[in-house]
Amino acid sequence: MGIVFYTNKKTGITYAYENKAYWDKAKKQSRSKRKLIGKVDPITGKIVPTRAYKKRERLAVENPPKPGPLPITAMRRSFYGAAYLFDQIGKITGVAEDLKTSFPDIHKQILSIVYFLILEENNSLSRFSHWQKLHVHPFGEDISSQRSSELFQSIDEQGRMSFFTAQGKRRIEKEYWAFDTTTISSYSEVLSQVKKGKNKEHDRLPQINLALLFGEQSGLPFYYRKLPGNVSDVKTVKQLVKEFNVMGYKKIKIVFDRGFYSKDNINALYKDHQKFIIGVKLSLKYVKDVLNDEKENLKMWSNFHPQFGTYGICRTIEWDYEQMRPYKGDVQEGKRRAYLLLFYNPEKAAKDQADMNEYLTSLYNDLCDGKRRDYCTKDYDRYFEVTETPKRGQKIRPKEEAMLKATGNYGYFALLSNEVKDPFEALSVYRSKDVVEKAFGNLKERLNFRRMQVSSELSLNGKLFVEFIALIYLSYVKKKMQDADLFEKWTLQGLLDELDTIERFEAPGHGRILGEVTKKQIEIYQALGVEPPSL
């Protein structure tokens, strides 16, 4: 629903109409109904309501619709158990309330598509019409393919940012937030952000990049950004910090992997007083210097943690802070306290050695076959010497010294933080970022978003948002299943199917009747932190 304007050429008066689109089944095309609201004041630009519209507004205020469920007009038997679970999750996480606030006119349609995406694994939205006939869902009516496209296009940036802000405030200062990116491939030639870039799944198609922010303890996502496919990870941090300021996030705690590390990014985090844990490369000078001094101490038994199977120590260092000041045309310099956390894992050392052996073997075979890979050019020259003579042909000699040098840091890794100085607390938080990688798998596989099947930027933006909401619900269920060890007995789909067998019967004059709920189903609801349904 929107407002359209029409100017009478004879009188010069501009009228405002309430425009409501609908689908004409007979003509098989989109049509619209319009109601006159009023005239546009040529001086102020405001709409001056007509008498009839004023009367409708007054009646709406005097006789508001009664709260509660809609009256039952027909008999219906529907699957209810899974929808009930999602209704409760929406209340617990605040998603339903925040959606209603951010998108008051379409929040129910969004939730209905979310329920469908989760329950109908890998099915396209063209199946929604069939699915909704058999299932209870928030909107309660059909959403055709045409309608879903219009819905996606009506999800605007203001509503999205309002939702992100509300969700972030529910978990702010309570946990670390894990940030990571993935690539989503596309055949599209009309989407402006689809670009050739470094594809994390080694797909040769152009792509967009998707950045996700996850709560480390809650296991729930609450923010995402769509990026051009040719933007590298390291360039995203400064923009992330700026958008935190827009949304009013303060005292943030973020976890990054080392692909996001740069001196400028660390300076930006210090400037905005954001707490962080980030992976750092061992080749950095300040890391290399401390590691060389501490290698022997690091492997002492007193620094070993049996749960992690890893040795760890913390060394306090001074970060050389720099801040550009454009208004003064200079650079402010200073020192900031930081904690360098060093680790050694014997199993990782063995794995690093095995991986290197496999890689060197593949390089050697490439040289023997005369099939060099472009992205390995430097390593061919670094680890092998190739000579060729007319009589003896090609001879390949390994550069043993270079190979031995590469093994020097096997099993070692490092983190940098400006808050956490306990190495194993930092390691525990850092490893929790794996939840983001699992979420990317859920988004691409279960929610059917490995390819972007949209034809416009607006549709892509809206569909991404709906998929993101579905990811919140899916992540909640998976986290609860993991905490309650339910994966020992159930798959995710099997558990949802078990709950979805619970029926709800509706009959005019008799109300709603809940079907049988078994002891097993009650136990599942309770394990997921939800009270079993009752009518």
Buried-exposed string 137-166: b where 16+ CB fall within 10 A, e elsewhere: bbbeeebeeebbbbbbbbbeeebbebbbbb
Which domain does 10 fall in, by range? Answer: 2-62
Report if residue 517 sits inside a domain.
no
Q: Which of 358, 381, 409 is the last residue of a domain?
A: 409
Convert the pLDDT of each residue in 167-189 to its tens digit.
877 765 567 888 877 766 554 44
CB 103 within 8 A of CB 159: yes
Q: In total, how many domains does the chain have?
A: 2
Report if residue 36 sits inside a domain.
yes
Residue 185: closest CA among 173, 172, 194: 194
Residue 299: per-residue pLDDT: 92
Show the DSSP H helices in 154-250 as ranges: 157-171, 237-246
pLDDT at residue 288 tops 90: yes
CB 314 within 8 A of CB 421: yes
Convert the pLDDT of each residue in 228-271 to its tens digit.
655 666 667 777 777 777 776 767 788 888 888 999 889 988 98
pLDDT at residue 291 tops 70: yes
Report if residue 26 sits inside a domain.
yes
Opening angle at CA 309, ends 304 and 315, nearest 5: 45
Report if residue 360 sits inside a domain.
yes
Query: Letter for the amino acid at 370?
Result: G
SS3 338: strand
pTM value is 0.69
Residue 99: closest CA among 468, 533, 457, 531: 468
* Weakest mean pLDDT among 130-139, 272-281, 334-343, 429-438: 429-438
Report if residue 309 sits inside a domain.
no
CB 207 within 8 A of CB 228: no
Token pair of 535 as six digits: 């009518």
Q: Beginning with the edge strand found earlier in the chain, give each strand of the sheet holding 2-7 in spatial order.
A: 2-7, 14-24, 29-40, 47-49
Report if residue 206 sits inside a domain.
no
Opening angle at CA 378, ends 374 and 382, nearest 5: 140
Q: Which of 363, 393, 409 is the last residue of a domain?
A: 409
Convert the pLDDT of each residue in 345-396 to its tens digit.
999 999 999 999 999 999 999 999 888 888 888 999 999 999 888 777 789 9
CA distance 12 to 336: 66
What residues have CB less than 8 Å from 419, skipping those under 6 apart? 253, 275, 276, 277, 339
Average pLDDT in the chain: 83
Convert the pLDDT of each residue in 292-303 to its tens digit.
999 989 999 999
Q: Which of 409, 424, 443 is the last residue of a domain?
A: 409
Report if residue 383 sits inside a domain.
yes
Report if residue 221 sits inside a domain.
no
